[in-house]
Amino acid sequence: MKKNILLIGGSRGIGLSVATLLHDTHNLFIASRTKGNLDSLDVNHIHFDATLEKLDLTLLPQDIHGFVYCPGSINLKPFKMLTSDNFESEMNLNFIGMIKVFKTVIDRLADKSSVVFFSTVAVKKGMPYHSSVAAAKGAIEGFGKAIAAEYATKFRVNIIAPSLVDTPLSKRLLNNDKKKEANALRHPMNRIGTPDDIANMVVFLLSEQSSWMTGQVIGVDGGTSTLNVN
């Protein structure tokens, strides 16, 4: 039987890599504001804005075996330049939007299903100019672990905390060779991540191969959160 996987965001970036890896072997339901680069893949696309709409359950199968929430932000600014509206909108996209859609679909999650959320390396490791995104992703880590405990016998919940990955979201940090090189050198392995580096972990967490993993925050970050090589 093909598993039904719901990806919120899968039109580009890490979500698109997940869709590319899974579309042949899974039934993919991808909910995002645009269809992006999904045209060549065999997926069910649902127009959906996680900050504005309720997901239409009639478009989804009765049993969902995997749920992934991809929308996120990188809004790096000194704290003094951030307004409370900045904090609110980042919280809305990363966390409140996630809560709302997760609440909508939770009764469709099949026994032994798998849920994947995204955090950032900047929660475990304090980084300047990351206060708003670290706050929003910190909420995801706390929520994800609490839900993993509450539903431990029903479904698994794990959280991936990447460092910098080359996707449309990070393009302003990587839009010339100098920035690319400087960012690569900030990582112990001297490179930034590719969407597939992260998508491979998503695929693993959605599969039975990770069936004894829940409530974990997994750093896929080239060693950034734990190594100091300087």
Q: Using CB under 6 A as the criterion, which residues of the chain lie in contact with ligand NAP when the complex forms?
A: 8-15, 32-34, 36, 48-51, 70-73, 93, 118, 120, 162, 164-165, 167-170
In whole angstroms, the minimum distance from the beta carbon of 111 to ligand NAP comes to: 27
Question: Of 2, 16, 36, 54, whose CA–CA distance to 167 is shortest?
Answer: 16
Which token pair is 121?
Answer: 């390396």
Minimum Å gap between C-beta 70 and ligand NAP is: 4
Nearer to ligand NAP, 112 or 179 (CB): 179
Least distance from ligand NAP to the Cβ atom of residue 153, Å = 27
Angle at 98 (CA atoms; ends 20, 35), nearest 5 degrees: 35
Minimum CB distance to ligand NAP smaller for 112 or for 181: 181
Burial 174-206 (b: 16+ CB within 10 A, else e): beeeeebeebeeebbeeebbebebbbebbbebb
Query: CB of 62: closest distance to ligand NAP in angstroms?
Result: 23
Residue 109 or 193 having the CB closest to ligand NAP: 193
Alpha-carbon distance of 104 to 146, in angstroms, equals 18
